[in-house]
């Protein structure tokens, strides 16, 4: 019986050794941390005080130790599975803890430059958002809302600002993904998180785009 247990233990340990790196890299997507980072960035952009005046929106890490612990009283005496439990604790536990404590990097020079560019534009962009000429889309961009009664001059100005803002936003999402070692295929997920934050925190009277493509005022 003990011999079978040892053979089984060796197989499982070998499998864990081969897959633990993949678990760390591929499974965890820091959605909550990205949402905190997006809220911090957008608050900084929309605030007029020096350095954006935005408080640190980073959520604290888990208060409890996420590393698996042995049962009270120490290791299970006489159990052939104890070496397996120890292997899981030593190799998988730290990977999970590291993932849960991840800090999203938004401090690269390129990211800071894009934030500064958007912040400088916001004073011109906000009146168009206030009048619902431009609105926050479901894809993390701004777009014309087909608001009636808009002059050709105002519409041309809105289009110009829309194009400039959307270029910066798309570049920002791409740079955040790159700075945090996210695959290119997750840039759309980063944009979706920013879309949720921008629509959630939109001011009263701003237009936001619903999932069906229609616009509504907050």
pLDDT digits (tens, 9 = 90+) for 34-60: 999 999 999 999 997 444 333 333 333
Q: Which residue has the tokens 């929106």?
A: 57
pLDDT on residue 101: 59
- Which among 67, 122, 125 has a CA at the least distance from the CA of 91? 67
Greatest mean pLDDT range, 77-81, 105-109, 150-154: 105-109
95 against 28, higher pLDDT: 28
What does DSSP say about strands 134-136 and 142-144: parallel, antiparallel, or unpaired?
A: antiparallel
pLDDT at 84 over 70: no
Q: Which residue has the tokens 């965890």?
A: 28
In angstroms, the CA 30 to CA 214 distance is: 30
Mean pLDDT of 60-76: 42
pLDDT on residue 10: 61
8 against 164, higher pLDDT: 164
109 touches 182 (CB < 8 A): no
Sign of CA dihedral 178, 183, 185, 188: negative
Confidence grade of residue 146 (pLDDT, cut at 50, 70, 90)? confident
pLDDT at 97 over 80: no
Q: 198: which 2 tokens?
A: 């921008």
Q: Which residue has the tokens 């629509």?
A: 199
Q: 121: which 2 tokens?
A: 């534009």
pLDDT at 25 over 50: no
Name the helix (H) or strand (E) containing 136: strand 134-136
**Helix H segments across 46-135?**
82-87, 93-100, 109-130
Name the helix (H) or strand (E) containing 144: strand 142-144
């Amino acid at each position: 019986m003990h011999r079978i247990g040892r053979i089984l233990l060796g197989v499982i340990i070998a499998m864990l050794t081969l897959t633990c790196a993949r678990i760390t890299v591929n499974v965890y997507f820091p959605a909550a941390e990205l949402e905190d980072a997006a809220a911090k960035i957008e608050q900084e952009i929309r605030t007029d005080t020096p350095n954006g005046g935005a408080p640190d929106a980073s959520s604290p890490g888990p208060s409890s130790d996420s590393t698996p612990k042995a049962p009270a009283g120490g290791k299970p005496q006489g159990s052939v599975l104890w070496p397996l439990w120890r292997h899981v604790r030593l190799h998988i536990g730290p990977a999970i803890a590291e993932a849960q404590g991840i800090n999203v990097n938004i401090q690269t020079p390129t990211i800071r430059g894009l934030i500064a560019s958007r912040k400088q534009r916001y004073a011109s962009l906000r009146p168009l958002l206030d009048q619902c000429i431009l609105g926050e889309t479901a894809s993390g961009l701004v777009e014309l809302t087909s608001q009636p009664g808009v002059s050709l001059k105002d519409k041309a100005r809105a289009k110009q600002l829309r194009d400039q803002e959307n270029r910066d936003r798309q570049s920002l999402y791409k740079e955040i993904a790159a700075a945090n070692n996210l695959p290119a295929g997750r840039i759309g997920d980063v944009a979706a998180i920013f879309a949720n934050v921008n629509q959630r925190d939109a001011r009263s009277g701003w237009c936001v785009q619903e999932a069906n493509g229609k616009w509504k005022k907050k």
